[in-house]
């Protein structure tokens, strides 16, 4: 239903609806069982174990009690109101039970049972049946074929899930399509001892979507950052709209798997629905400012930093180290992540000369040496907090046996608590010693994110910085050109067939209607007409065979370029006539424009979130080097500019080896106008301008194709 509702109305209503899911005051477990290790038993056990603050109503027609809690034969026997029900019964009984839930006034249901859309037609029918009943009564469905939710807020302690990790309260909320991945992400936060706020794994997601959950987390003040795992979105546009709002308020760390063909196949085999490598999701992440990861361990490690540290205001890192090598490794990784290690100010150097040990190296990194103690770390920290040209601090802290490591930790924590600048620590120790466990506890309790490897720590700081960059980036809104002639395009498209390429004539007319410059052209039906046109637009010209029957015309001798005079034109047309005798032939005569840079601008219909717009240099750059960049329509001016600046061969657009650069402004405008065209006419499935010839003063489409 997240699908159908408009975003605006959902923002009003969802708070209410999902509150019964995430903050239930009472929970019925339909299918609770006294059988050890059964899901109904495990969920009951988990609720008790996690000290759920509401009421638990096990529902079982035969058992008087489950795990010491009074059970009821049916929900109708429960004397109180029920906020949330778990359904753990065979799929065929589910439609009826949802009807019952509706009648009982239950607002949220987690269907743990499997046997629905993931199991073929019969399952789909069952799913549709219970959804209809749910709609009738306004019941929101979570699942089916899912784990459930967890809310660690001590006001609820709602562990509505059969997993086995019991996190402490924290500020990170997790949403995962796959329960298996959600569970190990939760476990990872647990192992990192950083706590969790809420958790949701919604399996088939037939009603409450990942987007619904993200929106809920977005408005939850206790959630500081969101971790999201998915293999795709059922409704990408819904997620796009949600993420646009939520990612502005708090970091969304996301991973979308199935990024390889084999991975996508594996995903399809277990979800039965989402298949194929889609690049749309990554583009949605980029457009909305979601921090995308391809490595789940890095994502979890980054979450630790996001849960405790402020976001840096820039890319300049100060490094404090008490051992040399790890600083080198950290520097490599930091620099690779776009961070800088600027030199210290004279003032800072002078302070440190007086406060550090004589063996210390005063620079950036600041090496306080292994014998450096709390005071030395403190001085270095204070200096970096005051340095104007430092935005974040990276610490290598090895618990050298010769120092009071607790004292070092306490000083780091004190400065960290000022929350002036983010502090990330590569903490190298041996936790089998009580002494170092103690030091570690000081660091942890003090909220300093500690890592076991310099690269891992540096990657976490890199993620914080990347979020800063994302947050600082304003792509703006897509421009709307009001000089376009929509009706012309509408008329042409209305008369065009699906799945076929439009004629060049129609394509050029569409481009002209959207004020996209096309090399001068006209259609001739005879040599004489072609000659007139050529004289008018001026030699040299190109002649192309034009007929709906002709595809791959250049392969078959249907294109003659660089025609310099009448005679050449006559020969060209004679040859074309010979090559395509018997077809209903016309001639497209066009100005020949050599010497520009060949560009390609392409479009393909993506998900409902928008068309994929592609830009690259033509010829070998696209064919051999695959040097292209994609954005999701509607493309803003900033995004179009980014497309030009982020292809690998971007420098070529500026002109090298004495060539002039191209007129980027014109190309940026063409991209925006194409984006507007396919936004206005989403029925355009495929389109490319190949090539666009770009010169120092203009950019002109020379050939183009459109398919509905």
What is the crossing angle of helices 486-494 and 504-513, to 10°?
A: 160
Q: Is 657 in the site for a second copy (CB under 8 A)?
A: yes
Among 345, 355, 361, 389, the residue binding a second copy under the rule CB under 8 A is 361
Among 14, 152, 183, 425, the residue binding a second copy under the rule CB under 8 A is 183
Q: Is 178 in the site for a second copy (CB under 8 A)?
A: yes
Q: Is 552 in the site for a second copy (CB under 8 A)?
A: no
- What would the x/- binding string for a second copy be over residues 447 to 476, using CB under 8 A? -----xxxxx--------------------
List Cβ neighbours of 426 (8 Å cut-off, separation of 6 or more): 326, 330, 394, 395, 396, 397, 450, 451, 452, 453, 454, 456, 457, 458
What is the C-alpha separation between 38 and 611, in angstroms, rounded? 46
Q: Is 40 in the site for a second copy (CB under 8 A)?
A: no
Q: Strand, helix or coil at 533? A: helix
279 vs 328, beta carbon nearer a second copy: 328
CB of 535 to a second copy, least distance (A): 32
Q: From the CB of residue 660, how many other CB atoms can be counted at a distance below 10 Å?
A: 12
20 vs 331, beta carbon nearer a second copy: 331
- DSSP calls for 396-411: EEE--TTS-HHHHHHH
296 vs 407, beta carbon nearer a second copy: 296
CB of 166 to a second copy, least distance (A): 8
- The residues in 489-528 that bind a second copy, with binding defined as CB under 8 A, are none
Q: Is 429 in the site for a second copy (CB under 8 A)?
A: yes
What is the C-alpha separation between 415 and 404, in angstroms, rounded? 18
- The residues in 596-625 that bind a second copy, with binding defined as CB under 8 A, are 619-620, 623-625
Q: Is 214 in the site for a second copy (CB under 8 A)?
A: no
Q: Is 260 in the site for a second copy (CB under 8 A)?
A: yes
CB of 356 to a second copy, least distance (A): 14
First to last CA, the chain: 29
Q: Is 648 in the site for a second copy (CB under 8 A)?
A: yes
Binding range to a second copy, per CB under 8 A, among 51-59, 158-166, 412-420, 696-704: 158-166
Q: Is 211 in the site for a second copy (CB under 8 A)?
A: no
Q: Is 254 in the site for a second copy (CB under 8 A)?
A: no
Q: Is 157 in the site for a second copy (CB under 8 A)?
A: no
CB of 599 to a second copy, least distance (A): 16
Q: Is 270 in the site for a second copy (CB under 8 A)?
A: yes
List Cβ neighbours of 161 (8 Å cut-off, separation of 6 or more): 43, 46, 147, 148, 149, 150, 199, 201
334 vs 643, beta carbon nearer a second copy: 334
Among 117, 331, 504, 672, the residue binding a second copy under the rule CB under 8 A is 331
CB of 360 to a second copy, least distance (A): 11
- 107 close to 138: Cβ distance less than 8 angstroms: yes
364 vs 666, beta carbon nearer a second copy: 364
Q: Strand, helix or coil at 262? A: helix
Closest CA to 329 of 398, 231, 431, 423: 398
Q: Is 338 in the site for a second copy (CB under 8 A)?
A: no
Among 70, 80, 164, 313, the residue binding a second copy under the rule CB under 8 A is 164
Q: Is 365 in the site for a second copy (CB under 8 A)?
A: yes
CB of 286 to a second copy, least distance (A): 19
Q: H helices then E strands: how many in the chain?
A: 24, 29
| Strand order through the sheet with 521-524 | 521-524, 586-591, 541-546, 559-563
- The number of residues that bind a second copy (CB under 8 A) is 93
Binding range to a second copy, per CB under 8 A, among 324-332, 381-389, 511-519, 562-570: 324-332
78 vs 305, beta carbon nearer a second copy: 305
- DSSP calls for 422-476: -EEEEEE--TTSHHHHHHHHHHHHTT--EESSHHHHHHHHHHHHHHHHHHH----
CB of 435 to a second copy, least distance (A): 9
Among 98, 110, 327, 408, the residue binding a second copy under the rule CB under 8 A is 327
What is the C-alpha separation between 333 and 16, in angstroms, rounded? 45
What is the crossing angle of helices 179-191 and 296-308, to 10°?
A: 50
Q: Is 42 in the site for a second copy (CB under 8 A)?
A: yes
Q: Is 428 in the site for a second copy (CB under 8 A)?
A: yes
List Cβ neighbours of 610 (8 Å cut-off, separation of 6 or more): 237, 240, 280, 283, 632, 633, 634, 679
- 148 close to 160: Cβ distance less than 8 angstroms: yes
- 661 close to 655: Cβ distance less than 8 angstroms: yes
């Amino acid at each position: 239903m997240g699908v159908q509702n408009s975003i605006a109305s959902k923002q009003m209503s969802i708070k209410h609806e999902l509150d019964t899911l995430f903050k239930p005051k009472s929970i019925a477990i339909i299918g609770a069982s006294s059988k050890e290790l059964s899901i109904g038993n495990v969920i009951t056990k988990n609720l008790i174990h996690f000290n759920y603050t509401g009421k638990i109503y096990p529902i079982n027609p035969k058992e008087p009690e489950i795990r010491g809690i009074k059970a009821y034969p049916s929900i109708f026997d429960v004397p109180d109101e029920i906020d949330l029900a778990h359904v753990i019964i065979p799929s065929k009984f589910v439609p009826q039970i949802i009807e019952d839930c509706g009648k009982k006034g239950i607002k949220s249901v987690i269907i743990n049972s499997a046997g629905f859309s993931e199991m073929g037609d019969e399952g789909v029918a069952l799913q549709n049946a219970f959804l209809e009943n749910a709609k009738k009564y306004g019941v929101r469905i979570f699942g089916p074929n899912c784990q459930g939710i967890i809310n660690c807020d001590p006001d609820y302690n709602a562990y509505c899930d059969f997993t086995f990790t019991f996190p402490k309260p924290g500020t990170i909320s997790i949403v995962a399509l796959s329960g298996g991945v959600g569970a190990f992400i939760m476990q990872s936060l647990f192992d990192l001892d950083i706590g969790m706020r809420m958790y949701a794994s919604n399996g088939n997601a037939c009603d409450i979507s990942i987007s619904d959950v993200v929106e809920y987390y977005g408005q939850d003040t206790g959630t500081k950052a969101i971790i999201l795992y998915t293999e795709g979105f059922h409704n990408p546009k819904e997620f796009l709209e949600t993420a646009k709002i939520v990612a502005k308020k708090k970091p969304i760390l996301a991973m979308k798997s199935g990024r390889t063909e084999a991975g996508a196949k594996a995903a399809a085999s277990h979800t039965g629905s989402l298949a194929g490598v889609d690049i749309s999701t990554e583009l949605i992440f980029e457009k909305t400012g979601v921090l995308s990861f391809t490595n789940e361990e890095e994502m979890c490690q980054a979450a630790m930093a996001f849960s405790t540290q402020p976001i840096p205001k820039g890319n300049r890192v100060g490094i404090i180290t008490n051992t040399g090598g790890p600083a080198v490794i950290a520097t490599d990784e930091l620099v690779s992540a776009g961070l800088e290690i600027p030199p210290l100010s004279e003032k800072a150097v002078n302070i440190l000369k007086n406060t550090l040990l004589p063996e210390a190296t005063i620079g950036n990194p600041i090496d306080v040496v292994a014998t450096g103690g709390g005071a030395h770390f403190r001085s270095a920290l204070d200096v970096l907090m005051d340095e104007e040209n430092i935005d974040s601090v990276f610490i290598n802290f090895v618990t050298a046996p010769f120092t009071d490591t607790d004292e070092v930790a306490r000083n780091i924590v004190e400065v960290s608590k000022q929350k002036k600048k983010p502090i990330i620590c590569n903490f190298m120790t041996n936790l089998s010693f009580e002494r170092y466990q103690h030091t570690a506890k000081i660091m942890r309790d003090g909220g300093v994110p500690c890592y076991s490897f310099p690269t891992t720590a540096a990657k976490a700081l890199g993620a914080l910085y990347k979020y800063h960059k994302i947050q600082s980036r304003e792509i703006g809104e897509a421009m709307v050109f009001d000089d376009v002639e929509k009706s012309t395009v509408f008329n042409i498209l209305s008369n065009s067939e699906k799945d076929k390429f439009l004629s060049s004539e129609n394509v050029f007319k569409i481009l002209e209607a959207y004020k996209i410059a096309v090399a001068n052209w006209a259609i001739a039906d005879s040599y004489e007409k072609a000659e007139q046109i050529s004289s008018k637009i001026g030699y040299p010209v190109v002649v192309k065979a034009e007929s709906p029957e002709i595809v791959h015309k250049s392969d078959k001798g249907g294109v003659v370029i660089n025609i310099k005079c009448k005679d050449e034109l006559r020969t060209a047309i004679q040859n074309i006539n010979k090559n395509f005798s018997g077809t209903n032939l016309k001639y497209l005569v066009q100005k020949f424009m050599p010497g520009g840079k060949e560009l390609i601008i392409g479009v393909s219909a993506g998900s409902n979130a928008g068309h994929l717009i592609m830009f690259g240099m033509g010829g070998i750059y696209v064919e051999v080097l695959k040097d292209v960049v994609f954005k999701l329509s509607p493309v803003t001016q900033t995004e179009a500019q980014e497309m030009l600046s982020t292809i690998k061969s971007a420098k070529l657009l500026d002109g090298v080896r004495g060539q002039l650069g191209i007129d980027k402004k014109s190309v940026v405008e063409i991209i925006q106008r194409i984006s507007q065209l396919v936004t206005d006419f989403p029925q355009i499935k495929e389109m490319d301008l190949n090539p666009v010839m770009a010169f120092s003063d203009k950019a002109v489409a020379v050939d183009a194709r459109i398919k509905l």
